[in-house]
Structure 1
């Protein structure tokens, strides 16, 4: 399963980790996100006012963080074939930085 944006938030809630409203939402096509596995920075498109909590790390490996707010931006669930990201990889804000997420998803199927 692949969760994108609201899907990322819904998965967090489904696993019992309620999202919370941000003081300021993140909107736009130029948000830097670090991939914690590869240590590379991706430029992403975002449009959200809620975040998933840090406690989600109890059931998911945190894979991405937003460099503007250090919030959880992507996860890979530990016991399930599920990945999710808060940003929009289909928008390809940067040259093609986030397209690999779809390849990872296809490998889970």
Structure 2
């Protein structure tokens, strides 16, 4: 739900999905690299990418239905994913996401 809340906090809208995403084995593509990860998901709502403000970049797409599965907003040093990287269905598919988060935190130390 954090991804959805971030989308709304940025001024975007969410919508109820017809079936939602539940369970493992959801393919998600990182559009920045073309890499496809296998993810575990459990949600019924999605962020509408067309409603996001300028500067917010959709980074990940669910390949089953093309819904927004990740975004970044460099201006606010923010990233989010619409799946559970900690559940590791890949089992190491989401390691890059955690690495990206750690690097984001390191680069923004006070």
Q: Pick the aligned partner of 1:24 from 1, 19, 24.
A: 19
Q: Please, what TM-score do these two structures have when normalized by structure 1? A: 0.89
Q: C-alpha distance in 1, partners of 2:53/2:10?
A: 11
| Structure 1 residue aligned with 2:57 | 61
Give the match for residue 47 of structure 1: 42
Alpha-carbon RMSD across the aligned residues, in angstroms, is 1.2
Tell me which stretches of 4 or more aligned residues in structure 1 moved more than 3 Å.
none
| Alpha-carbon separation, structure 2, partners of 1:100 and 1:51 | 23
TM-score of the aligned structures, taking structure 2 as reference length: 0.89
Indicate the residue corresponding to 1:9 in structure 2: 4
Q: Offset at 1:57?
A: 6.1
For residue 103 of structure 1, what is the aligned residue in structure 2? 99
Structure 2: runs of 5 or more not aligned: 106-110
1:95, CA displacement in angstroms? 2.6
Aligned-pair CA distance for 1:59: 3.4
**Deviation, structure 1 residue 47:** 0.2
- Higher relative CO (Cα under 8 Å, sequence separation at least 6) belongs to 1
**Which of 82, 86, 91 in structure 1 is aligned with 2:82?**
86
Aligned residue pairs: how many? Answer: 104
